[in-house]
Amino acid sequence: MHPAGLTRLIALLVAVAMANLGCAHTQVPERKRYLITEEASSIDFQEDARGIGGAGSEAYCNELQIQCYDKCWRRKPPVWSIKKHSAVHREYCTKTCREEFNKCVDKQEELERQESQSKKLTFPNISEALDWLKEHTREAPPGTHVAVAGVGFVIAIIGGALFLVPI
């Protein structure tokens, strides 16, 4: 083999080796869970931390539906062929007020979505996030989204403990 050919072969082998070494330094990010507290079952999460959705908004809409039905039942139906306090009148009030209930629930769910998007917890690093979450555990129930240095996490209960888990 010629000395020039040998030099080219060695240069090629060095370039391939360097390219492989460069790739060896790239690491896959670790999907690590961070413990907030070991005993999540003893925590009484604040009702207002859960927003306006869930059972609270449904109870509100149920009350509106009851008021709607009572009002409808007391009044003469707007359709001339329906006799007041008849079975058809009952069906009319039930249908009308169910539609009002569904609109109310949809509106409450939309408000909850908007509120949850505006109440994201954001921290510059994981230690600050964990410190805050340990002190304010009741204010951040499971399902809360947390951003740490631009990375998304969610609070979850795993095996009875409360963790901050990457999304």
Q: What is the pLDDT of residues 57-74, one digit of tens each?
A: 677 888 889 999 999 999
Total of domains in the chain? 1
Per DSSP, 83 falls in state P
Angle, helices 87-118 vs 55-74, to 10°: value is 150
What is the distance between the alpha carbons of residues 141 and 127, in angstroms, rounded to a whole number? Answer: 19
Question: What is the pLDDT at residue 50?
Answer: 44
pLDDT band at residue 76 under the 50/70/90 scheme:
very high
Question: What is the pLDDT at residue 118?
Answer: 53
Query: Which one is predicted more confidently, 54 or 115?
Result: 115
Q: Could you tell me which residues come within 8 angstroms of residue 36 by beta carbon, excluding any fewer than 6 positions away?
A: 130, 133, 134, 137, 155, 161, 162, 163, 164
pLDDT band at residue 96 under the 50/70/90 scheme:
very high
Query: Which one is predicted more confidently, 37 or 84?
Result: 84
Q: What is the pTM of this model?
A: 0.44
Q: By residue range, what is the domain housing residue 19? A: 3-166
pLDDT band at residue 49 under the 50/70/90 scheme:
very low
